Amino acid sequence: MSENLLGLQVTPGEVSRVVQDAIDVGYRYLDCAPLYDNEREVGDAIRARIQDGSVLREELFVSTKLWNTCHQPDSVLPACKESLTNLGLDYLDLYVMHWPIAFK
């Protein structure tokens, strides 16, 4: 299960539909994280709505998070690039630490 835009559980495979519906009704801030295990589906939805002309990438504010095992300086860029790949995006509008504590 993954969290949707409201923090509710969404079955894998439904995330793209939920995000597309959210964009359709006016959501422009999309909060993601590797922990939610849905970046690929969120990215699929974003690209679908961009491709069908519903929204421009510049109209969306997409954020994702750095997971707690990746706080070491040499881990940050690879983790960010992995999220960009998963989302299928060229850039993020915000990239933050998921929690302010690191895990081993």
Q: Which residues are catalytic?
A: 36
Alpha carbons within 13 angstroms on the beta-carbon side of residue 17 total: 5
13: its two tokens: 């495979």
Considering only CA atoms, which of 77, 58, 10, 68 is closest in space to residue 34?
68
Q: Are the C-beta atoms of 98 and 66 separated by less than 8 Å?
A: yes
Provide the CB-side half-sphere exposure for 71 (13 A, CA). Answer: 10
